[in-house]
Chains A and B, each alone.
Chain A
Amino acid sequence: MHGACTLACCPECGYTTVDIGRSRSAGLLAKLFSSRKPETIVAATLDVAALGEDVAIAGFAENMTTGHRELLRAYGIEPGRMVRVGQHSPVTVVRVDETEIALEADLARLIFIGAAP
């Protein structure tokens, strides 16, 4: 196979498959239609927390930037504390003490939660 070829052919039966991973247009399409949710949900995250519930913050995902982590903690969203979930659309809104914080799903997804004790 040379560089641009994206076909793989079974030497036994002659069945031809396409290596989607090597196709630019397929890659682009996949990007366009991909849902950006992570494939495996390891733990419950804030973006899917039930509305109206009090949930405990369990931690932050590895890939959250230090800047965001510190910003959230300064707002009072930090491991061990309770927040009340108000809404998820258009963005997630939670209440910590008497402060309402609005945050995008992209960020809420990086916040792990546990149930209220």
Chain B
Amino acid sequence: MGGHRQTPMAGETPRKAGVVALVGHPNVGKSTLFEALTGHRVIAANYPGTTVEIVRAFGRRLDDTFIDSPGILSFPSRTEDEQATVRVLLDSAPVGVLQVGDAKNLRRTLLVTVQLAEMGLPLTLALNMADEAEDRGMPDRAEELSRLLGIPVVATTAVRGEGIGTLEEAMRAPRTPSIRVGYPEPIEAALRRLAEILPDGSLSERSVALLFLAGDPVADEWVRDHLDGRRVGEMVRLRKNAAEELGSSLSSAILAARIAIVDSLLADGIGTSVIGEQIRNRRISRLTTHPVWGIPLLAAVLFGLYWFVGVFGAGTLVGWLEGALFGEYINPWLSAGLDRIVALDWLRDLLVGEYGLWTMGMTYALALILPIVATFFFAFGLLEDSGYLPRLAVLTNRIFKAMGLNGTAVVPMVLGLGCVTMATMTTRILSSKRDRLLVILLLALGVPCSAQLGVVMGMVGGISMTALMIWGFVVAGVLVAVGWLAARLVPGDRSVFVAELPPMRRPPMRPLVLKTVARVEWYLREVLPLFLVGSVLLFALDRLDALQWLVGVAEPLVVDWLRLPAEAATAFMMGFFRRDFGATGLFLIAGAGLLTPLQIVVSMTTITLFVPCVASVLMIAKERGAKTAAAVTALVFPLAILIGGLLSRALEFVGWGA
């Protein structure tokens, strides 16, 4: 390895196929461009942080493997998703880098370019969002930049597929950039020493040394993995000495030198625009974060979402699919058919019994959940692509501040309304460990997923508006109270809110539909097996009479403390696996006339506060470790039961709904 490393001088680089990493700021269209280059669909959305994991795929017309990486603001990496990008560069042995930049924000784009240039890899720069730059009356500067940087620079509008051909052509002959950043002498001296110690890798030693000096956690890890303790010690010492000699933060000095280069590049002809004039969508965009008008606008958005998902998806579509298609045709027909063919009782039960693979697993997954998640994904995609979510963060910042968090937390929380498991993964966009932990806890505790929300709406909303408000008020109250308390108990400081607000855009239909389909497919692939496993588990428990036994254990809690009928214990046991299972079970029990309005509100509140599902617990374990998952679970279940019992007594006390 290291064969293509060379002194940072301009020059044609012999082209060999291999891994090409797409790197750039968050939300500049990397995923969209990645798709255009590979034909592989990744989810793109109009808010920073859509890509939290790396995706790789073969080029359509180029023989390379492309890697889509999470957005990075600048090096060193700050958040976990930025760290994933640094890891790609260090570990995937790229033969080239395609920087995706924002044509209307040249300064920021070039700041990343100079950093990538140091890596000594062939580099191509795509100036994406060329349409938006043009709308703002900015001239196309690709050629000028290409000359200054010594690399191919191509203007693209990835959403419309414009400039992709030219880009591919340019990438056939990428070049190593000709610019070089000079740093203050103490840093340069340290860089020379560090470069001698560092092992060969795909990136230039100078760039790895710079990452190391700037304190990039991934570079630190990489160095520790590749060198023995003595050399690591030597490197750490060099870093410390350089910092002392410099008398200020190394990372700040490094950044300052890079900014200076960018300034000189821009002075070389590419004058930065004065702040642009009013453009079309800016007025709407202003209203969305307006202290007064923002609120009714938000209410309208929420109502629209509720109507489309809760009424149309969970009501109309589920009615057709579950009630009619599955309930009246497929399932009875299948049971009757199997009755004739399959002689073994238990096998028939396994397939079409109470906890049957088909009658429970498939029916739930396809008829009950699918319509809700499909409508949700569509509505959500609309929200994402419009650029509304980061603006929601502005509006809700104050609420999250009370919980020791900041507005950025609203993104995973709102995503949780779709699927808590998926949302748990997106907590990676939060900048501190503490914030991620808090949001994961809140997600597990009180954010109902789309599947559950539908049931709650139907059941509690069916009683009265007051009932719905009691439910909402208690759940929100618990969330805020626990958030408030946890924020004080979990060590660390609250991180201050800083976020980029992408422009509001009218979402193009085709990508939106494709994105919805892709997500539904993902959902089926990921979640359908879980449903099947869940129903086999329940089937086994039932067969072995373990369910009876478990229900027996749970009964004192359910009957004595929560004051619900004994049957509800079964529902809560099911809720342990998935809280929407539990909610549905309660739905059936209520349907049988066994629950008073008070009991409905109590049981729904309790089940909403349950841990969402086995999948989400596994996701917490994967993201934050088994210990955290165990702790969250151990905290959430008793708390849910406690609140339920208290609510029951409180409602009884005021004489509501008995």
Binding site for B on A (CB under 8 A): 54, 66-76, 78, 82-84, 86-87, 89-91, 93, 95-104, 106-107
Please name 15 pairs of A and B residues whose Cβ atoms are closer than 8 Å in the assembled complex, sorted by A.
Answer: A74-B108, A74-B255, A82-B275, A87-B290, A90-B294, A90-B395, A93-B289, A98-B102, A98-B104, A102-B498, A103-B499, A104-B397, A104-B406, A107-B496, A107-B497
Query: Which residues of chain B are near A54, meaning CB under 8 Å?
Result: 275
Asked whether, in the complex, the Cβ of A76 is within 8 Å of the Cβ of B108, the reply is yes
- What's the Cα separation between A102 and B252 when bound, in Å? 22
Contacting residue for A75 out of B73, B252, B497, CB 8 A: B73
Query: Which residues of chain A are near B74, meaning CB under 8 Å?
Result: 70, 74
Asked whether, in the complex, the Cβ of B275 is within 8 Å of the Cβ of A84, the reply is yes
Binding site for A on B (CB under 8 A): 73-74, 78, 102, 104-108, 111, 132-133, 136, 249, 251-252, 255, 259, 272-276, 285-286, 289-291, 294, 390, 393-395, 397-398, 401, 406-407, 496-503
- What's the Cα separation between A67 and B407 when bound, in Å? 18
- What's the Cα separation between A54 and B286 when bound, in Å? 17
Asked whether, in the complex, the Cβ of B501 is within 8 Å of the Cβ of A102, the reply is yes
Query: Which residues of chain A are near B498, meaning CB under 8 Å?
Result: 68, 71-72, 75, 101-104, 107
B273 (CB) vs chain A CBs: closest residue = A97
Query: Which residues of chain A are near B401, meaning CB under 8 Å?
Result: 104
A103 → B minimal CB distance (Å): 5
A87 (CB) vs chain B CBs: closest residue = B289
Q: Which 5 A-B residue pairs are closest in the complex by CB-CB distance?
A: A74-B74, A98-B104, A100-B501, A89-B291, A104-B497
Query: Which residues of chain A are near B503, meaning CB under 8 Å?
Result: 100
B79 → A minimal CB distance (Å): 10
4 other A-B residue contacts (CB within 8 Å) besides A90-B394, A98-B273, A107-B496: A68-B498, A70-B251, A76-B107, A82-B275
Contacting residue for A99 out of B105, B285, B289, B395, CB 8 A: B105
B655 → A minimal CB distance (Å): 36
Assuming the contacts A69-B252, A93-B394, asked whether A75 and B501 have C-beta atoms less than 8 A apart, the reply is no
- What's the Cα separation between A93 and B500 when bound, in Å? 9
A84 (CB) vs chain B CBs: closest residue = B275
Query: Which residues of chain A are near B397, meaning CB under 8 Å?
Result: 90-91, 104
- What's the Cα separation between A104 and B251 when bound, in Å? 24
Query: Which residues of chain A are near B275, meaning CB under 8 Å?
Result: 54, 82-84, 95-97
- What's the Cα separation between A76 and B109 when bound, in Å? 10
- What's the Cα separation between A102 and B291 when bound, in Å? 13
Query: Which residues of chain A are near B500, meaning CB under 8 Å?
Result: 75, 99-102
- What's the Cα separation between A97 and B407 when bound, in Å? 23
